[in-house]
């Protein structure tokens, strides 16, 4: 049995859970992080020395880093056959490019938007930081809107891939009513893509619930 450690309101845990759902992977999830604790115990630090979530255990395999966990699930359970994690060099590299971009560019840009609007009490918000995050995030989403504006259904064509899954988790933050503030631009192609993601059962189960 695959065990995924992490609370269900963590975006990085959500990536792994949605990926498992797409693949039909059997797994158990154990709460960990923030109010649940666990991550500072010696047992957990032996699994993940960073004390972060998610982590995965599967027999002798122990993994941390959400994108690596998603890759592992795809390799283990036929992500290539489903088109989720293609095997041809160009297609695989394109997926990997978007996963790296999420880590290096999108996440830092949007962090203060989510934390400022969702995990900070209204009276304590730094709205200047939120406004900067809106501008920085918008610059990132404009890249995807342009990418999708040529009529493609998903980021790399007509097939839903791991790139759509990972970036779709972050798009939930951008489009969510919990974070909407004045000045957030509309992105028609991005919005249509996001609506397509919303039709997937794994999205509805793990990504769509309210941000907390």
DSSP string, 57-72: EETTEEEESHHHHHHH
Domain count, the chain: 2
For 32-55, write each residue's pLDDT tens digit.
999 999 999 999 999 999 999 999
**pTM of this prediction?**
0.95
pLDDT at residue number 183:
85
Confidence (pLDDT) at 93: 96
pLDDT for position 211: 96
Residue 90 CB burial class (10 angstroms; 0-12, 13-18, ≥19): exposed
- Of 196, 22, 161, 23, nearest to 90 by C-alpha is 161
Write out the residue range of the structural domain in which residue 47 sits: 2-76
**Residue 23 CB burial class (10 angstroms; 0-12, 13-18, ≥19):** buried
Q: Which helix (H) or strand (E) holds 97?
A: helix 89-101
Q: Which of 33, 54, 76 is the last residue of a domain?
A: 76
Q: What is the pLDDT of residue 182?
A: 86
DSSP E strand stretches across the chain = 2-5, 27-30, 55-58, 61-64
Cα separation, 212 vs 85, in Å, equals 30
Whether residue 116 is found in the same domain as residue 187? yes
Looking at the DSSP bridge assignments, the partners of residue 180 are: none
Q: Which stretches of the chain drop beneath a pLDDT of 50?
A: none
Q: Is residue 211 part of a domain?
A: no
């Amino acid at each position: 049995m695959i065990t995924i450690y992490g609370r269900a309101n963590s975006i990085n845990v959500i990536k792994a859970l949605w990926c498992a759902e797409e693949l039909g992977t059997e797994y158990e999830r154990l709460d960990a992080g923030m109010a649940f604790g666990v991550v500072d115990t010696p047992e957990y630090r032996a699994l993940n020395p960073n004390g972060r979530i998610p982590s995965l255990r599967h027999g002798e395999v122990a993994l941390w880093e959400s994108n690596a966990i998603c890759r592992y699930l795809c390799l283990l359970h036929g992500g290539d056959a489903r088109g989720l994690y293609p095997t041809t060099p160009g297609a695989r590299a394109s997926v990997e490019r978007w996963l790296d971009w999420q880590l290096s560019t999108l996440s830092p840009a949007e962090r203060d938007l989510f934390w400022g609007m969702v995990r900070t009490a209204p009276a304590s918000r730094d709205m200047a930081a939120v406004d900067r995050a809106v501008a920085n995030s918008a610059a990132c989403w404009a890249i995807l809107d342009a990418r999708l504006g040529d009529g493609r259904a998903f980021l790399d064509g007509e097939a839903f891939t791991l790139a759509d899954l990972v970036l779709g988790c972050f798009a939930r933050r951008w489009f969510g009513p919990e974070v909407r503030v004045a000045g957030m631009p509309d992105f028609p192609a991005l919005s249509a893509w996001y609506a397509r993601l919303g039709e997937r059962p794994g999205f509805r189960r793990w990504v769509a619930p309210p941000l907390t």
